[in-house]
Amino acid sequence: VAKRGSAQAKSPLSRERIADAAMVLIDRHGLAALSIRKLAEELGCEAMSLYHHFPSKGHLLDALVDQCIAGADLPAGGLPWVEQLRRAAHGFRRMALRHPKFAPLLVVHRLNTPIGVAYLDKIIGIFRKAGFDDKSAGTLFRDVSYFLMGAVLDESSGYANGPSAAEPVSDAAIARDCPNLAAVAPFFKPVHFDATFEAGLEILLQGFDSIRKTVR
């Protein structure tokens, strides 16, 4: 039987049902709109009931991050290492942008859960199996991670999503005072996200390939 509004008392609460409802809420209204109280209303229960399944809001967010990471594609082992890295990078980006409003949290979250560290371990493994020494593997893994973090942040919540300043500068003022910015601004739009990502990733992969020839 339906309660008021969207609240349905369909089934007993569970971690899965709570996590799914939380992600729906984030997808629809944004990360800032996720509160324990609103989530409970959506689930047709009291706020405090959720604490029987997640000890804190932080634990719930961890579970959401885990759920995303578990859905990331990892490349097959047989491919050349550059192709494996390329696919892993694309897989990360695709995964993170599956829930754009959650992406800013996902991307800055340290992956310290069993699922998270297993994911990192596999990608670092691509470098090590390619013949990089541990120092190069660690360094270059971080470098490509920096790029991926920035790319996902920009695509999910950057300029293309509108101004963030409380009193933004008008387009007219930019056209007048910032000729360089005005000239390149069209290429910051979502249509160019793919090409921008590809260009940066390929520069990095090319550089990694050159370095590998020296450390081997």
Partner DNA sequence: ACCTGAACACCGTTCAAGT
> How remote is the C-alpha of 4 from its chain's centroid?
34
Q: Which does 174 bind (CB under 5 to 8 A by kind): DNA, a second copy, none?
A: a second copy
Shortest distance (Å) from residue 93 CB to a second copy: 11
Distances (CA, A) of 97 to 68, 139, 148, 151, 215: 10, 25, 11, 10, 34
Q: Does 175 bind a second copy (CB under 8 A)?
A: no
Distance between CA 89 and CA 73 in Å, rounded?
9
Site for a second copy in 45-74 (CB under 8 A): 55-56, 58-59, 62
Cβ neighbours of 155 (radius 10 Å): 20
Min. distance of Cβ 35 from DNA in angstroms? 3
CB of 97 to DNA, least distance (A): 24
Distance CA 193, CA 158 (A): 11
Please, which residue, 42 or 62, has the CB nearer to a second copy?
Answer: 62
**DSSP-assigned letters across all residues of 131-170:** T--HHHHHHHHHHHHHHHHHHHHHHHHSGGG---SSSPPP
Question: How many angstroms separate the CA atoms of 35 and 208, rounded?
Answer: 43
CB of 198 to DNA, least distance (A): 38
**Residues of this chain, 87-126, that bind DNA according to CB under 7 A:** none
Q: Which of residues 2-61 bind DNA (CB under 7 A)?
A: 12-13, 34-38, 45-49, 51-53, 56-58
- To DNA, the closest distance from the beta carbon of 23 in angstroms equals 15
For the segment 179-208, give every residue that binds a second copy (CB under 8 A): 179-181, 183-188, 192, 195-196, 199-200, 203-204, 206-208
Beta carbons within 10 angstroms of residue 75's beta carbon? 20
Residue 182 interacts with DNA (CB under 7 A)?
Answer: no
Please provide residue 2's backbone torsions phi and psi, each rounded to the nearest 5 degrees.
Answer: -75, 135
Q: Which does 21 bind (CB under 5 to 8 A by kind): DNA, a second copy, none?
A: none
**75-114 binders of a second copy (CB under 8 A):** 104, 108-114
In angstroms, the CA 74 to CA 95 distance is: 11
Contact (CB, 8 A) for 160 and 188: yes
Binds 51: which of DNA, a second copy, none (CB < 5-8 Å by kind): DNA
**Rule CB under 7 A: which residues touch DNA?**
12-13, 34-38, 45-49, 51-53, 56-58
